[in-house]
Chains A and B, each alone.
Chain A
């Protein structure tokens, strides 16, 4: 199975900050990488697909980069609604593994 390792596991941050979350795959996955936002009581939401493509309707302060084994999600100018848990996921092979999640907390 392809292991997905996210860091950090949690991050204390403030409105207006810029944050970067990293995701490393245990083997090369090309651009088969997506990022999701999950807020309590709300269905997970697709933010980025194909490593760097912004899903329709997602604010441009979200961006993704990377290819192969190393990927990043960057959120610029954090807004109150961005405090949530973020997951990366590979779709290169089954099982479709997720990272363990990164929780953004209000400082």
Chain B
């Protein structure tokens, strides 16, 4: 059974804190993604990575950075958390070798910045 896990389901942080969100997949997928999900806006791509140590900016990268030191792990970093980063964060992975491009999502981390 394919699995994408995220380090926390719920997280509360203070403004200005550095926040790490971790994602691990066990499917040996090359591609990994970080999205944020907000009501009425759907899922918006923050960053994606198509290989170890490789990263590409998505639609809303400002205020975020990522790290991919190992194939199975993709980390999202909020250098200095702000209240407008309160959101649901979803990690996903996929394999470019698959014809259907299917993405597998983790359960999400609901981050609240106070």
Q: Do A and B bind each other?
A: no
Query: Using a CB–CB distance below 8 Å, which chain A residues touch chain B?
Result: none
Q: Which residues of B contact A (CB under 8 A)?
A: none
